[in-house]
Structure 1
Amino acid sequence: MTQKTIQLATAPDLVEQVYARLLDAISEGSLQPGTRLNQEELAAGFSVSRQPVLQALRLLKKDGFVEDAPGRGVQVTQLDVHWIAQVYQVRGSLDALAVRLATERGAKIDPELMQQGRGVHQTRDVQAMIQADLAFHRAIYQASGNPLIAQSIDLHWHHLKRVMGAVLQSSHQRQTVWDEHDAIANAIAAGDADEAVRLVQEHTQQASVQLTARLSEQIQNLKTGAQA
């Protein structure tokens, strides 16, 4: 991340650019939990002064992606099972609102998007699977007609991408995930808002249970390995 120079344009604001680049690297796993972030190295890597890096790190800390490191400095925040479960609670509520609004508007989810998602699921490409999953849910947010839903949930998805990436590297997305997506899309198309809400809440709950359980197992294995 910091070994080669990445030339950034002067606009938009440099703080926003540095923030976005670091956020992508953290959420996609290029910067692993516990990685120390050195201001001088980051500034050199982005070809900017330390000031936009400092401001970007402050924003990342406020949003929960960066934390104080032991001693001094900052590091990428460790994944926390309880925090992720809380993020899923918020996402579940927003997803439920989105599918209800989408259903009431007579929306339909693009069948091609569904087909592409199933195809990606077969590739076992972790980042592609995460992006396909996100594309499905973003289609629902857009179909809701309320732009505040997507804006409100975007930051939460960056947290979820972190845990999805960490977990799916060593295990697989459950086989039924795109069957669940299909059922949700069909309920929306059929105009059954109550069923769509029920299905998306069940879908989110299953994802939360599965991913937090696997994350807990990974964390425990790391602790056991460190003590051995």
Structure 2
Amino acid sequence: MKPIVEIPNRAEQVYISIRDSICEGTLTPGTHLVQERLAARLGVSRQPVQQAMALLRNDGLVLERGSRGLYVAPVDAAATVHRYQIRLGLDQLAARLCAQRAVHDPAFRAEFLADGNRILEAGERALASGIHRDAVAMDVEFHSFLYERSGNPMIAATAEPLWHYLRRVMITVITYADRGSLVWQQHRDIHRTIAAGQVERGVALVTDHIEGAEDAILRAEIPVPDLDD
């Protein structure tokens, strides 16, 4: 076995900075990532940038075009479908477990309603602000709320790696598919149904919500960058 090499903290910071810029749309698909420029912009040497790029390629956020170098990857249809398949299973399980808890625990139900309403209100404000990054952050928070309240900590742990890729997909949905208001109405319906302990109905609403988002991104007319320029 090869020795485990710990990623230096600076490389991790560079990775997070570039990753978030890609996920939030600041670095758009097709952007040429020149490591010397990134290092200068971030105030670091090339080494942590090189290490960050290796991680970003593993995430599917950066791709290499031979001698042309590294680019921000386009949103890939197959990769999106694969991740949404996993996300669907996790959200269905979280909805089922939350609804079952609501049936048997009135205190849980009351707390679930109150805390969920605060997230919903904050999400609707973020959507109204027009800042896509904030709206998506609240969208992630709503689903993370379901994972947390499910009582199964493995759901959030399993979902966490998916969100880096899915955040940029969700921003793309808002930008090109115009689903913002529908998304938050669906969140409200899901929240209310789960709180009422309607297990199968809650799972069905979550299924429609996730599959609708996947369909919207696959049907959206997203500009395809020319990486040969």
TM-score range, shorter chain: 0.7 to 0.9
Indicate the residue corresponding to 2:53 in structure 1.
Answer: 57
Cα distance change, pair 169–13 in 1 and its aligned pair in 2 (3 A)? same
Q: Secondary structure at the match of 1:67?
A: strand
CA contact (8 A) 1:65 1:77 kept: yes
Higher relative contact order (CA 8 A, sep 6+): 2
How far the C-alpha of 1:120 sits from its partner, in A, is 3.0
CA contact (8 A) 2:127 2:180 kept: no
- Give the whole-Å Cα distance in 2 for the aligned partners of 1:14 and 1:157: 22
How far the C-alpha of 1:54 sits from its partner, in A, is 1.0
Structure 1 gap ranges (5+):
1-10, 224-228
Cα distance change, pair 91–119 in 1 and its aligned pair in 2 (3 A)? same
Q: Which among 136, 140, 145 is matched to residue 130 of structure 1? A: 136
CA contact (8 A) 1:98 1:144 kept: yes
Q: Which among 96, 110, 119 is matched to residue 113 of structure 1? A: 119
TM-score scaled by length of structure 2: 0.82
How far the C-alpha of 1:125 sits from its partner, in A, is 2.9
Q: Does 1:139 align with 2:145?
A: yes
Q: Secondary structure at the match of 1:18?
A: helix
Q: Secondary structure at the match of 2:67?
A: coil
Q: Secondary structure at the match of 1:78?
A: coil
1:171-211 deviation line (CA, Å, top 9, x unaligned):
52253322211121122212222221111011101111112
Q: Secondary structure at the match of 1:175?
A: helix
Q: Of Structure 1 and Structure 2, which has the larger fraction of its residues in helix?
A: 2
Structure 2 gap ranges (5+):
1-6, 103-107
TM-score scaled by length of structure 1: 0.82
CA contact (8 A) 1:117 1:132 kept: yes
Root mean square deviation of aligned Cα: 2.4
CA contact (8 A) 2:177 2:217 kept: no
1:37-90 deviation line (CA, Å, top 9, x unaligned):
122222222222222211111011111111112533211111112321222111
Indicate the residue corresponding to 1:102 in structure 2.
Answer: 98
Indicate the residue corresponding to 2:3 in structure 1.
Answer: none
Indicate the residue corresponding to 2:42 in structure 1.
Answer: 46
